[in-house]
Each structure stands twice: as C-alpha cells, then as structure tokens.
Amino acid sequence: MNTYFALFLIATCSALLLTPLIRRLCERFKLLDLPVAGRKTHSRAVPRLGGVALYLSCLIALSTLPLVDNLLTHALRQYTPQILVVLIPATLVLLLGIYDDLRGTNASVKFAVLGLIAVLFYAMGGRIEALSIPFVGSVVLPSTISFLVTVIWLVGIANAFNLIDGIDGLATGAALFSSLVILVVSFSREAPMMIVVAIVICGALAGFLRYNFNPASIFLGDSGALFIGFTLAALSVLGAQKATTAVAVAIPVLAFGLPVIDTAITMARRLVSGTPLFEGDNEHIHHMLLARGWSQRQVAIVLYAVCATFGLLAMLFTQTGTRSTGFVLFVVVVVVIMAVSHLRYHEVDELRAGVKRTVGDRRVRVANNIRVRRASRALAKATDLRQLIDAVSHLLESGEFAYACFQIGHPAGAEVNERAVRASEKQQPQAGLELRNGRIFWSWSRSALDAEDVVDSGSFWCLRLPLATANGKWGWMNLYRAFESDPLLIDMNYLSELFRRQLSEAGERILNGFDEETVDAGLAMTVGAGKSRV
C-alpha cells in the first residue's frame, strides 16, 4: 500500500511541476489555442499541450518501479507485457494529438489513425473477446466481431473525451472520476497492474487539474484528451477480459458515463438533423448549460456530480450480482432521457413533436385532410357561386384558420362578375358576396373577427393561394392563422395543389357560364334589331 501511495504522490508532484514548465514553453514558442472560432469558450490565448505534461508525469511515476524491490514490484514483472500493450499505443495516440494541436488535421484522418492504433492494440493482445449482457448472459464474440467491438470502443472513448473537452477542467475532471472507478474496481479484483496504471493516472490528473480548472492556464488539447481517453479505454478492455458477469458491460459504460452520453447524443442529433457526423458544433451538453446562463465553474461542478453519480453506480456493481444490473441500467437510461429533454435540443423538441403528430394528432390530421378532399370534390361539381361558397365553407369549418377571403373575377370585365353576383343573391341572399373594383369578393371569419382585426393586426400569418388555370388568372384566396395557434393539422400540399386547382377551375367554369349568357343576350338583341328594320 505504501508503494501505491508513493506512486500517486510522484505522479501528482510531477504534474504540479511539469505543467507550469510545459505552459511556459508553449507561451515561448506560441503554441497557443487562439479564441478565433465560434465554438471557443475562452477569451484569451491559452497553451494547449497539457497532454505532454500528463504523459510525462505518468511515465516518471512508472519509471520509479524498477528502483523499488518489494512484493508488488516482483508481482508486476509478469505484467510487463500488459503494461506495454497499454503504453505503446497510448504513446502513439499522444503523438497524433500533438501533431493535431500543432499542425491540425481533419476528422477523417484523425479517426483513421486512431483506428490503426486500435488495431495495433488488438494485435498486441488487448481485445474484447466476450460480453456479458444484462438479460442475455455471457456472449463469446467471433473474432471479427471481437475486432470491430474493440476498435470501436477504443476510438469511441478516445473521441468522447475529446468532445467534452469544451470548457475548463471538464474533460480532466471526468477522466479523474473514470480512473477512480477503474482503480476501485481493480482493487476489488486484486489486479496489481491495473491498480498501478490507474493510480498513476489519478495522480497525474489531480496535479494537472490544479492548472486546468477555470480559469484554465493550460488546456489538455487533443494530445491530452485523446491520450487519456484511449488509455482509460484500454485499461477497461484489459479489466473486462477477466470479468465474467454483467458488470463487464455495465462498469465500463458507467465509468465513462458523461463522455459516452454526450457522444451518443451528439451522434443522434447529427443523424436526426442530417448534419455531418464529424462536424463540430456548439450544442454539446456543456454548451447547452452555458446557454442557460451558467458559468463555466457551475457547469463543471454540476457535471462532476454527474460523473460521481455514474462512478458510484459502477462501483455498486462490483458488490452486487447480475440480477440488478439490467434494471439499474434501465433506470439510468430513463433518467438520462428525462434530463436531456430539458436541455432544449432542437432535435429532441422536433422528435417529441413528431411523436405527437404521429400518435396524438394523427386522427385530427386525417379528418382535416379528408375535409380538404371533400371540399375539392364539391368544387369540381360546383355550377354556381352558391355551391362554390358552400364547398369553401366546409373546408374552413375544420377550425384550422381564423379568417379567410377570396377575390375572383372574369377577365372580360366587371359586367360578367356583376351578373354572377346578382344571380347568387337571388339564390342565397345571405351569401355575403360583394363587388370590389369590379371583382367578386367574399370573406369568412371565426369567432366574429373583423377583417381589420386580422389583416392589420400583425398577429396572423397568411397563406395566399393564387387562382389560375391554363386560360388565365382568376383571382386569389387568403387563409389567415394566428401565430400562437397550435401546429397546423392539415396537409399543405392538399391545400396548395388539390384544393387550389379545383377552386380555380370552379371559378373559371362558373364565370365563363355567365360570360356565355352575356354573349347570347347580345346576339338576340342584334337579331331583333335587324328584323325591325326589315
């Protein structure tokens, strides 16, 4: 136990001493993270090679083991190959992160190189060969599936820590809680190699957090986030190789709870919104909390509490059987979904609205669409303005619109339109038709609204349907709806295509009928005049 404590102190002190040195070197050589992009949350240039300080602190602590001669160091000699299985790929990941911090690289190249390093880890013996899944039991993975699961896990967790490294101290603190979980689980399983590496990482992170917490004087950078994420993922793989219960899945997932959840939400959001999966944005969990007006410190502390909760649940599984594992994971998923729903993600709101449209509003929407179809069919049979108005009124009775009006007129002139209005008044005196500028005007309103209350209020939006056929333009129809109304439960394509077309054709057919009567009357007068002359 004294050796473990000494390793922790060496790693912590090394980080406390090396981090300021790395920071000064970065400042001297201008290796700074500049606040130029929209996703940055800092307002000044900050050194970003904190991963180098973490790596050197861990390396210094591990290098002291050969200088000690006791039972622990004797036991660790047989685990030297396993330490190299973790250390060699992790070093390559660090170099990749340093290159990205200094020169920059696109996401595709970064994922490809990380994948190759994960393949090296698999080839050196680090692999997930079996999974014990709640409610299913232990599943031995075929070699191909084992390879894919191992690579995806390593690359995914490494990038998960990189994704949450968006505010001061968050990724470092989350990694510290994850490493503490791995440390406690390693003690329960009496795995000395896992204990040594985990305790060294804990010490390095604790020392580095002194400079990385808000206001941070140095950042992890891609070098630190990728290195620590990959190393912890590799340790979880090696630890899971000895586990035969459902905790082989539950503990690693819960140990990396916050990074896993943030990454899963990010991928789901981008799939739903159709944006590129690897394109950065400012809608991670910490960004959404910042948008609520929280400070960086408040966000970090709250998310530390989330990490601690996940860590306690993970450690709980080391003391319980597999029966409760599935239930606890189910409860965790439900709680996470409820919490995420309050972060005001556009994608979540749209999915919720989609479910409501599909389940709750489906009956009303179908009924309204049927009403549009019936109104369109009635318009197709209309032979006078009274029938046309009845068909339009049937549509408006759905209650989706507050006010409506239309204006139609024959291109031949006001005389034809006047004849149509007079004929309609004889059939239905209360039709509400009137002549405006030589054209036929009709309006409808719900709740006794006046036209002035709607058109000039600025509280309504308007859908304008131009009435036209191949033979010319016949007018227009406006449909008004209040801005604060519930979602429109009617298919806009039915209105803009089917209903508009039938209304246009009905207006043309009806007014052309009155135009023919005018022509016939003119001809009759001409014939009568000729006979009188004879």
pLDDT digits (tens, 9 = 90+) for 126-141: 998 887 766 666 788 8
Q: What DSSP string describes 48-115?
A: --HHHHHHHHHHHHHHTGGG--SHHHHHHGGGHHHHHHHHHHHHHHHHHHHHHHHT---HHHHHHHHH
Give strand pairing partners of 407.
Answer: 441, 476
The amino acid that residue 278 corresponds to is F
Please give the model's pTM, rounded to 2 decimal places.
0.74
435 in any annotated domain: yes
Angle between helices 143-163 and 257-273 (to 10 degrees): 90
284 in any annotated domain: yes
Residues 323 and 185 in one domain: yes
Domain's final residue, options 337, 354, 371: 354
Residues 307 and 419 in one domain: no
For residue 522, what pLDDT is reported? 42
360 in any annotated domain: no
For residue 136, what pLDDT is reported? 66
88 alpha-carbon distance from chain centroid:
36
Residues 349 and 253 in one domain: yes
For residue 9, what pLDDT is reported? 97
For residue 96, what pLDDT is reported? 97
* Distance, CA of 310 to CA of 313 (rounded, Å): 5
Q: What is the CATH number of the domain that holds 388?
A: 3.30.450
For residue 244, what pLDDT is reported? 44
Question: What is the radius of gyration, based on Cα positions, of the chain?
Answer: 36
Residues 313 and 448 in one domain: no
pLDDT tens, position by position, for the chain (534 residues)?
A: 789 999 999 999 999 999 999 999 999 999 998 886 556 677 788 998 999 999 999 999 999 998 988 888 888 888 889 999 999 999 999 999 999 999 988 889 999 999 999 999 999 999 988 877 666 667 888 999 999 999 999 999 999 999 999 899 999 999 999 999 999 988 988 889 999 999 999 999 999 999 999 999 999 999 999 999 999 999 999 887 655 444 456 778 889 999 999 999 999 888 887 888 877 788 899 999 998 899 999 999 999 999 999 998 888 776 655 556 667 777 888 888 888 777 878 777 777 777 766 676 788 888 899 999 999 999 999 998 999 999 999 999 888 899 999 999 987 778 888 888 888 888 777 668 889 888 999 999 887 778 888 888 888 999 999 999 998 899 999 999 999 888 888 989 999 999 999 999 999 999 988 875 544 444 344 334 444 433
Domain's final residue, options 304, 333, 354: 354
Query: What is the helix (H) or strand (E) element at residue 387, kind and residue range?
Result: helix 385-396
366 in any annotated domain: no
For residue 39, what pLDDT is reported? 60
Token match 């979980």: residue? 181
Give strand pairing partners of 406.
Answer: 442, 477
Specify whether the CB–CB gap between 174 and 303 falls below 8 A.
yes
Residues 344 and 436 in one domain: no
Q: What is the DSSP letter of 272?
A: H
Token pair for residue 171?
């990724």
Q: What DSSP string describes 126-183?
A: ----EEEETTTEEEEPPHHHHHHHHHHHHHHHHHHHHHTTTSTTHHHHHHHHHHHHHH
367 in any annotated domain: no
**In terms of residue numbers, what domain contains 102?**
2-354
Domain's final residue, options 354, 375, 399: 354
377 in any annotated domain: no
Query: What is the helix (H) or strand (E) element at residue 122, kind and residue range?
Result: helix 107-123
Residues 345 and 438 in one domain: no
Residues 104 and 205 in one domain: yes
pLDDT digits (tens, 9 = 90+) for 261-320: 999 999 988 888 788 887 778 889 999 999 889 999 999 999 999 999 999 888 877 665
Token pair for residue 125?
């013996």
362 in any annotated domain: no
Query: What is the helix (H) or strand (E) element at residue 440, kind and residue range?
Result: strand 439-445
Residues 259 and 168 in one domain: yes
364 in any annotated domain: no
Distances from the Cα of 375 to the Cαs of 75, 421, 506, 511, in angstroms? 86, 21, 12, 19
Residues 293 and 405 in one domain: no
Residues 56 and 184 in one domain: yes
- Coil/strand/helix, residue 468: strand
Residues 399 and 275 in one domain: no
* Distance, CA of 74 to CA of 66 (rounded, Å): 9
Residues 329 and 392 in one domain: no
Specify whether the CB–CB gap between 277 and 267 falls below 8 A.
yes
Q: Domain tally for the chain?
A: 2
